[in-house]
Every structure is written in C-alpha cells, then in structure tokens.
C-alpha cells in the first residue's frame, strides 16, 4: 500500500462494539479499504480486563494492515498489547509525564486541546501529535467549526502534526484537509454502517487524493 506522503491522511477511531471478535472483524474490513495512518482504540465503557482482551485482538490486525495502533488512555494495556502508541485526552501535565515515561518507545499524543492556550501548553510537552476534538465528538455531519479553526491555526504555525476530528459525513474529511491538518479522524462516518466501512475508507482516500491540498516539503 503506498502512503500518500504529502496530503492529509485518515485516522480511524475504533467503533464501540461490545463483542471483541465482531469489533476486530469490522476494523479489519475497514482497513482493507485503503490508506489509514493509525487507528485509535478507545476504552468506552469496558472494564480494564475486557479492554485488554479487545486491545490484544485489535492491535495485531491494525499493525498487519500497515497502520499504527494507538490505545486510548491506558499505558498498561498499550504495553501488554504491544501497541505502537498511547492516545491521551488529559491535560498537558499528564501528557508530559507520559512522554517522559514512554517516548520514544511509544508514540504519545492527544491532549484536551479545547482552545489555543491549552493547545500551546500541550505543544510545550512535545507530543508526537495533538488532537483537536473528542474521540466521540462526531455528533453532526460536519466537523465542529471550533476544531477546524484550531486545526488551521495550529497547522499554519507549529510543526507538531495535528489530528482533527471529522463529522459523521465522510465528506467532512475534506473540510479538515483544507485546514492544512496532517490527519483527519473519522469514527461514525466510517463505522456507522459497518458493511460499508471498506468502501467508505476507499471513498475518503479518493476524495483526499483528488481534492486535498498538498503539503510543501
């Protein structure tokens, strides 16, 4: 699979499905659709032991597809499941501690970047990426205007890559790409109808190939 080097790439957020095998099968199918930079696996309401089992099923299949597997929140689960990284939605201090402890062995990124001030505090911790939005924040067809504005501001001046949460409409990926953000995160846009997930991943990649602005080297 060739990676599009110079445009916004897709990040998937694993859907909330209680059955680990079903969840793994749906994510594996989606990854057959085309280029995905990484998959973030949230805990949702699972207890730690069940989350661990889910992670152990998901991580290898994500990695086999050529994407990075990022576990949300729990460094022990990330370590045991041999994930590539850790996605944190806490404050700058929590992110800074995790970076000190786990980088560069693990990718460490995320942050609760609700405004410019918080984003800059997170940036000082030098995470691998910053995330604008919430993992389950795709409640409307379009990406949240505040997250688009933050992504555009950040991408124009700071080298740390950013991921901006898209909406429930796959076409929202293009609005994110147009901000200059390096990555767009989609959840319900891809997994709302699991049987269509691979074709939606393919459609989003085709849309970005055709219309996303290109980064300058």
Query: Can you say whether the dihedral through the CA atoms of 207, 170, 10, 110 is positive or negative?
Result: positive
Number of domains comprising the chain: 1
Is residue 169 assigned to a domain? yes
Indicate whether 1 belongs to any domain.
no
Q: What is the mean pLDDT of the chain?
A: 96
Task: Give the residue numbers spanning the domain of 79.
Answer: 9-210
Give residue-wise pLDDT tens across range 71-89: 999 999 999 999 999 999 9
The answer to whether residue 60 sits within a structural domain is: yes
Single pTM value for the model: 0.97
**How far apart are alpha carbons 69 and 65 in whole angstroms?**
10
Q: What is the pLDDT of residues 24-58, one digit of tens each?
A: 999 999 999 999 999 999 999 999 999 999 999 99
pLDDT band at 1 (very low <50, low <70, confident <90, very high): very low
């Amino acid at each position: 699979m060739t990676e599009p080097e110079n445009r916004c790439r897709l990040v998937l957020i694993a859907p909330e499905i209680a059955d680990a095998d079903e969840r793994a099968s749906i994510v594996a199918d989606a990854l057959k659709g085309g280029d995905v930079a990484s998959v973030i696996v949230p805990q949702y309401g699972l207890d730690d032991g069940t989350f661990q089992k889910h992670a152990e099923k998901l991580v290898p299949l994500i990695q086999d597809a050529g994407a990075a597997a990022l576990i949300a929140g729990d460094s022990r689960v990330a370590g045991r499941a041999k994930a590539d990284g850790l996605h944190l939605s806490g404050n700058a201090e929590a992110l800074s501690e995790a970076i000190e402890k786990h980088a560069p062995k693990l990718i460490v990124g995320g942050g609760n970047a609700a405004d410019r001030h918080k984003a800059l505090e997170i940036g000082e911790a030098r995470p691998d990426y910053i995330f604008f939005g919430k993992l389950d924040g795709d409640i409307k067809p379009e990406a949240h205007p505040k997250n688009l504005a933050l992504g555009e501001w950040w991408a124009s001046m700071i080298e740390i890559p950013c991921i901006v949460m898209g909406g429930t409409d796959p076409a929202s990926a293009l609005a994110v790409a147009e901000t200059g953000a390096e990555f767009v995160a989609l959840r319900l846009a891809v997994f709302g109808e699991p049987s269509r997930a691979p074709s939606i991943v393919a459609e989003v990649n085709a849309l970005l190939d055709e219309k996303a602005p290109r980064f300058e080297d």
